[in-house]
């Protein structure tokens, strides 16, 4: 599944994938979020722009909310998801999945966060990767690649390659997330030893760090940048920004890497953000926000890297990667009993199972813990 980056201005930059559901089929551009579990779409939505009506609907209660007064409520639908392999003779497979139809949205779901829905990729059993693995359709792993040109790729069943770097996943049972242990930070030639738990969250645009990690990275970065620091600006969420001249696209910056448990280094290839502050005037910002408690690695630190979320081996893997390259990974290790060489014919999602036949009351709370 290919994805592309979008957002609602300088403060939001996420990757999205196009999915088609319902009969007649309707296409949605959903945000790819490893920090959430449920796959949901806006359906007959109050407080947001509704899509054309679909035959797939039934009154099954759903409520989803998170810590920023953002919520979506509606009903659940059980339907079929079709996937294909990436090779010269693609195979197609289908999986019965449950997704939410949001009717009422509030908070950032109305703005840039996920105006067209959200594709939950979290650890919990209701996420799409979990369902695919439970049904034996793919390995219990997937990868995401975020290209520097805004194009990306998600591959279900991908366990990466033998030459990738790896570190253990610390899956917390109270708030299950893709967390790892950081044992050090490298900024240019400077190294700081520390031990902090850090969450990898593709649904967060930028990186959030608490002290001492935040101060070490930002101070080390600032001391090695050869550029004029931009004055504090309330319109910009980042503390460390630098003026760009009319001839500059970016500035020379020190490299940033995270040393992980086991010793492997995770490179932050493109951690900055160029922001237009007025016509023909730009600044380059280190896109890190100071947090009070949580450490969250956002999409900006994952740019230029294929990140493997291997839930079977409980490891996070990564490798510098060209997202257009499909030959260096092993996606969709499929079960042949559920696959076909031919494209599905007369695909009619609601005919596979009437949502009302499997209805249940359901309340979903976004699993991102409070800061």
pLDDT at 58: 39
pLDDT at 114: 52
**H helices, E strands: number in the chain:** 4, 25
Q: How far apart are CA 303 and CA 321, in angstroms?
A: 9
pLDDT at 1: 56
Q: What is the pLDDT along the chain (371 residues), one digit of tens a residue?
A: 555 554 433 445 678 888 776 666 677 888 899 998 989 887 764 444 444 444 444 344 444 445 455 555 667 888 777 776 766 677 777 778 888 877 655 544 455 555 678 899 999 998 999 999 998 989 999 999 988 887 888 999 999 999 999 999 998 777 789 999 999 999 999 999 999 999 999 999 999 999 999 999 999 999 999 899 999 899 899 999 999 987 776 788 999 999 999 999 999 999 999 998 888 889 999 999 999 999 999 999 999 999 999 999 999 999 998 888 765 555 544 443 444 444 434 333 333 333 333 333 333 334 444 44
Percentages (nearest 5) of helix, strand, coil residues in the chain: 10, 40, 50
pLDDT at 363: 31
pLDDT at 113: 52
Burial label for 5, CB within 10 Å (0-12, 13-18, 19+), is middle
Asked whether 353 and 56 are in contact (CB, 8 A), the reply is: no
Domains 2-138+332-365 and 165-306 share a fold: yes
| pTM beyond 0.85 | no
Confirm or reject CATH 3.50.50.60 for domain 165-306, answering yes or no: no
* DSSP code, position 338: G
- Residue 205 CA from chain centroid, whole number: 9
Q: How far apart are CA 183 and CA 335, in angstroms?
A: 39
Confirm or reject CATH 2.40.70.10 for domain 2-138+332-365, answering yes or no: yes
> How many residues in the chain?
371
pLDDT at 72: 53
Identify any residues that bridge with 42 across adjacent strands, giving them in sequence order.
102
Q: How far apart are CA 166 and CA 205, in angstroms?
A: 23
pLDDT at 238: 96
pLDDT at 266: 98
The catalytic residues are 33, 201
Q: CB-based contacts of 112: which residues, under 8 Å, 6+ apart?
A: 7, 8, 9, 11, 12, 14
What is the domain partition of the chain in residue ranges?
Answer: 2-138+332-365, 165-306
Of residues 41, 55, 59, 45, the one with CA closest to residue 99:
41
Identify any residues that bridge with 63 across adjacent strands, giving them in sequence order.
73
pLDDT at 89: 73
Burial label for 278, CB within 10 Å (0-12, 13-18, 19+), is exposed
Q: How far apart are CA 296 and CA 205, in angstroms?
A: 10
């Amino acid at each position: 599944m290919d994805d592309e980056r979008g957002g609602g201005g300088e403060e939001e930059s996420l990757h999205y994938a196009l999915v088609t559901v319902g009969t007649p089929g309707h296409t949605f551009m959903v945000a790819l979020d490893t920090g959430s579990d449920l796959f949901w779409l806006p359906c007959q939505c109050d407080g947001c722009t509704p899509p054309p009506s679909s035959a797939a609907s039934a009154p099954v209660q759903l409520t989803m909310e998170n810590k920023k007064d953002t919520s979506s409520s509606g009903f659940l639908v059980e339907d079929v998801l079709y996937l294909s392999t990436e090779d010269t003779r693609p195979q197609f497979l289908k999986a019965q999945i449950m997704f939410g139809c949001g009717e009422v949205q509030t908070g950032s779901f109305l703005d840039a966060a996920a105006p067209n829905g959200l594709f939950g990729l979290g650890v919990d059993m209701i996420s799409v990767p979990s369902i695919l693995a439970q049904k034996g359709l793919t390995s219990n792993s997937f990868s995401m690649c975020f290209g520097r040109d805004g194009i990306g790729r998600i591959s279900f069943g991908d366990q990466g390659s033998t030459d990738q770097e790896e570190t253990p996943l610390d899956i917390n049972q109270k708030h299950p997330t893709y967390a790892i242990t950081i044992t050090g930070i490298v900024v240019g030639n400077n190294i700081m030893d520390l031990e902090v738990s850090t969450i990898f969250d593709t649904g967060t645009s930028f990186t959030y760090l608490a002290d001492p990690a935040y101060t070490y990275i930002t101070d080390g970065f600032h001391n090695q940048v050869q550029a004029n620091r931009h004055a504090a600006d309330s319109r910009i969420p980042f503390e460390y920004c630098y003026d760009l001249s009319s001839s500059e696209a970016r500035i020379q910056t020190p490299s940033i890497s995270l040393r992980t448990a086991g010793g492997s280094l995770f490179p932050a290839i493109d951690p900055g953000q160029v922001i237009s502050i007025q016509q023909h005037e730009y600044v380059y910002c280190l896109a890190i926000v100071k947090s009070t408690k949580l450490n969250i690695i956002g999409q900006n630190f994952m740019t230029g890297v294929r990140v493997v979320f291997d839930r079977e081996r409980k490891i996070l893997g990564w490798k510098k990667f060209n997202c257009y390259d499909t030959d260096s990974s092993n996606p969709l290790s499929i079960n042949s009993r559920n696959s076909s060489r031919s494209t599905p014919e007369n695909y009619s999602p609601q005919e596979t199972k009437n949502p009302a036949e499997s209805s249940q009351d359901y309340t979903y709370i976004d699993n991102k813990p409070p800061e």
